[in-house]
Each structure stands twice: as structure tokens, then as C-alpha cells.
Chains A and B, each alone.
Chain A
Amino acid sequence: MEEITTVLPGPQLPEETGKPFAGSLPKPTPESAHFWEGCKRGELLLQRCGDTGKAYFPPRPFSPYTGTRHVEMFQASGRATLYSYVIHHRAVPGFEPPYAIAVVELEEGPRMMTNILNCPQTPEDLVLDMELEVTFQKMDNEITLPYFRPLKKEGN
């Protein structure tokens, strides 16, 4: 008997499909290795400028604000809001359409691209400025990706 599975729109995650991710995966560099190691531990790591205290992303060992090499790594809260997105309607390897390609604004200020999990991929459900939280998905032994999902409010 062939197992019947329901394919939900969005990234086709190995944990759900039991198959390797067919999409593009990052290859860490010396400047980003700490970020990807953090993701494996379930930590979203940002860096902060030693001169201004402002957080930045993507990772680099100096501040894009002042050029100082004096920077500090810290764990972000994982809280974010939905800043903007498109909903792609064509099939792409590793993704079931329609799926949203989103940009979220982290509580600490920087923005990052992501997908929104645990949420219907429709304009009605993806409301700008909605509250989100980070969630990590193991893609293979080397790479765990940060995604975001609607914030589960306590008491609701």
C-alpha cells in the first residue's frame, strides 16, 4: 500500500516529507559559520555594532554602520513582524505552490527573508505587521534553517 500524504503549500521540509529538501541550501562561509552553527542549536544569532550598539544582519565581522571590527554576537529574541511578501504561484523544486516568500522585521531591527510556516499561504491570513516567532527546521546534517510562524499567544 502506498502511503497517502497531504502536501501543504510552502517549503517541503524533510521532517514532514521524509525526503531530502529539493530546494537550494546555503553553504556557510568563514564569516557566516557561527550563524549556521547557532541555527543548529536553535539559536538565532545576530551581531551588534561596538560603536552604536545597533544590530545588523546578514553576519559579517565588522559593523556596516561605522566600520569597526569591534562587534558582539548575541541571541535574538526570535520575535518578529511580517514586513512584506509575495505569494509565488509556480512550482519550484522544494516548494509546493502557492507559497509566500516573506521578509520579516526582527524585534532587534534587522530584516530577513524567510517562509511563514503553520499559516495558510493567502493574503487574508498573511497580514502585514502580524506577530511572528522563529522556528527551526533541520534540512540535513549540515544545515538547519530559521523560519517564522504566527506567534502563539499565551492564554489563547
Chain B
Amino acid sequence: MAYQPGSVAVVGAAETTRLGEIRDMSQIMLHADAALNAMQDAGLQPKDIDGIACVGQMMPQQIAHYLGITPKWVDGTTVGGCSFLLHMRHAAAAIAAGYAQTILITHGESGKSRINATPRPPEPESLSGQFEMPYGPFGPATLFPIPVLRYMKTTGTTHEHLAQVAVVQREWAAKNPRAMFKDPITVEDVLNSRLVAYPFHLLQCCLVTDGGGAIIMTSAERAKDFPAKPVYLLGSGESVETTLISQMEDFNSSRAFRVAGSAAFEMAGIKHSDVDHLMIYDAFAHLPLFGLEDLGFCKRGEAKDFIWEGHTRPEGKLPLNTNGGGLSYTHTGMYGMFALQESIRQVRGNAPAQVPGVSLSVTHGVGGMFSSSGTIIFSNQRP
């Protein structure tokens, strides 16, 4: 049976009490802090939760035990920073199938303080250990931007266009008291900031912070009885491509983006012109460009002009990354949870930089250097 758009809803959503540098919490406590805040938002206790999803080897067991939850549905999908979008998609199917009634999705990451953080050891026998690591990549900043010069050559995108992405997101961050960086910046500021991995400068790379978030989902029928106005899940999509960025099919477009995005739009039965608000996971400045094009908001090569002309900035026709994004708001290492939280706030109407009249929001996530993708479409109206 096909998923009925709007048959599952978000009834609780919250981030950790603080974001940024959190020296007094280990990674598991960041999960718990966010989960407790989300349960308070929904008016629930751990005994009311019967399904759980989070990222990491053996982590669902740890989170369930730590929070005192007895789940009858579990998802440990771990595909990088968009994993939470996939958790939401899987949870919606599980609720529709009757596997669980009330599902909690948690994220916590001590990305900056690294207190009990997940180690990421290089494995010399893995595909990346054999065919990429010997050539000196060192973290996402050296891998994620590898397609950018090819994309620039194909599309005529300039360094100034790629700097403008960071400038516009800072405009949104200025309206958000919880954003890490709020001071206005110019294209010149971006291009004069320290080169990290050419063509990208420091201000085109995401932050590194501590924090977390949690989401509680249930059926639309039950959602009516919760304190907050339900945020309905209309559509979703997911895909993976390759963990080797050198082996991406196309350096000008992400196959995983296209598969996830088109599935979500088709399931929701919406047009691009229906979308009031958009979040595209921005670990680095090229991702909003790839996202706008691969989701079909812009034709190939036209995203640079769409952003340059101001359509994604405050007062623009397609407000994008309205919390300030991974570039200016926060980025624990797996930012997808924060993109989801901002879409939920915008649809609920309580975002710090609230866009007037948001009814329909799209969150689009990426994981592990274009290796995975998820898309979620939210609405405050049940179709």
C-alpha cells in the first residue's frame, strides 16, 4: 500500500538546550538533552515512546537504555549527516504499517569538544583507504569540494557566485539569536578569508560545533491530541551513491540528490511553485547550488544566478536555509537534524527568522561527501 501523504505527523521537535561549545555533556547526553526537550514539547515521557532511531553502530541500544525506552521498532541507519531524513522516512512507513505508534529520532554529536565522540579511523583496506586516502585527503573540507572546479567550468559559476552563498546565509543568521555567526559579511570578506582547500575559503566551509536535536512522530489521527499543531509529512525520498567522491557518476550533479528529491515530490504530489520554504544541507558553499538544480528548482547552471539575484535571501521568493545553515548557524558533523528542525519551526510558525505564511517546506539532506541523500516534505495542512 502506498504511503498516504499527511498520514504521519511530527508532534515533538527540539534541539539541545545549548549549541556551540558544550563542554559539560558527552555525546550520549547531547542525544538525551535533545530527546528530553522533544518529549517535553510533545508532552510525553519515555514510557510513551515505542520506536527509536539514531545514527551509529550499536547506538539505538545505547540511546534506548539511557533514556529508559522499550522500543518495538528500531532503525540505526547510518549514512552520514542526512541519516535523520532517512529515519523520518522509515518511521513514517513503520507507523503506517503499525510497527510502532510513537517514534523518537535523536541526534547528538560532540563535534567540537569530542567528548566520547565517534572515532573515524582510516581503514587502509577499505575502498577509500586503498584508492583515496593515500593521496592526502584530510576530512570533508578536502573531499566534498573536489567536484567544484569541474562544476564551475561546466556551468560558468564563478568564485564570486560561490562566495555569495555564504553572504546570503549570513543575512539569515543575523536574524537568529542562536546562530553561531551573525555579523554581516561581503563577497570580498569571503574571498579574503583563509584558503582551506582551493577553491574554498574558511567562510565557505561549515562550522564545527557540539549539539543535537530530536523529533517525535506519530499517526495523523493521534497527532490531533498533542499540544503543538501537527506538522504533516507529505513526501520523502532517499538514495545513496558512493563513498568515493572520485567515483561520483557526474561532478555537476548528484545522482542521490536527484533520486531522493524526485521521489519526495512525486509522493507528496506537489509542484515546485507550491514550496514556501526550503532547507538544503550546506556543509560547503556549493551544496545549495547542486540542491537547487538537482531538486528541479533551477535548470542546470542557473542556481548561481538564482542566488545572486536574491531569490533565496530574506524577502526573496524562495527563502533558503533560514536558520543561517551549516555555514553560519551550527554544524555538529551531521547537520541534517538541524535542517529538519528549521523546516518544522517554519511550518509551525515559530522560527526566529520566521517567513510569513509558510505552509509547505522541503528539507533536502546530504551525507558523507555526496554519498547519500534524503528529502522530506512538510506541511501544516493535511491533504
A contacts, CB < 8 Å to B:
11, 23-29, 32, 57-58, 83-90, 92, 94-95, 98-99, 101-103, 111-115, 123, 128, 139, 145
Contacts and interface: CB of A to CB of B under 8 A. Distances in A.
B197 A88 contact: yes
B145 A86 contact: yes
B228 interface: no
A139 to B, nearest CB: 8
A95 B197 CA distance: 14
B292 to A, nearest CB: 20
How extensive is the interface on chain B, given as a class? Answer: 35 or more
A99 B136 CA distance: 9
B131 A112 contact: yes
A128 B149 CA distance: 8
B197 A26 contact: no
B127 A84 contact: no
A88 B142 CA distance: 6
A27 B136 contact: no
Contacts of A11: 135-136
A23 B131 contact: no
A30 B60 CA distance: 33
Contact of B136 (A32, A92, A123, A139): A92
Interface string B242-266: 0011110001000000000000000
B131 A26 contact: yes
B137 interface: yes
Contacts of B150: 83-84, 128
B251 A115 contact: no
Contacts of A23: 133-134, 136
A-B pairs, 5 with minimum CB distance: A26-B130, A84-B150, A87-B198, A27-B124, A113-B246
Contact of B138 (A58, A85, A92): A92
Contact of A24 (B124, B143, B194): B124
A113 B132 contact: yes
Contacts of B197: 86-89, 101
Nearest to A36: B130
Residue of B135, B149, B153 with most partner-chain A CB within 10 A = B135
A23 to B, nearest CB: 6
21 contacts: A11-B135, A25-B124, A26-B125, A26-B129, A28-B125, A58-B131, A84-B147, A84-B251, A87-B195, A87-B197, A88-B137, A88-B138, A95-B136, A101-B135, A103-B146, A103-B251, A113-B246, A115-B136, A128-B149, A128-B150, A145-B134
A114 B200 CA distance: 19
A103 B246 contact: yes
B251 to A, nearest CB: 6
A24 B146 contact: no
B122 interface: yes
A85 to B, nearest CB: 6
A69 B212 CA distance: 45
Contacts of A101: 135-137, 142-143, 146, 197
A125 to B, nearest CB: 12
A89 B201 CA distance: 10
Contacts of B117: none
Nearest to A115: B135
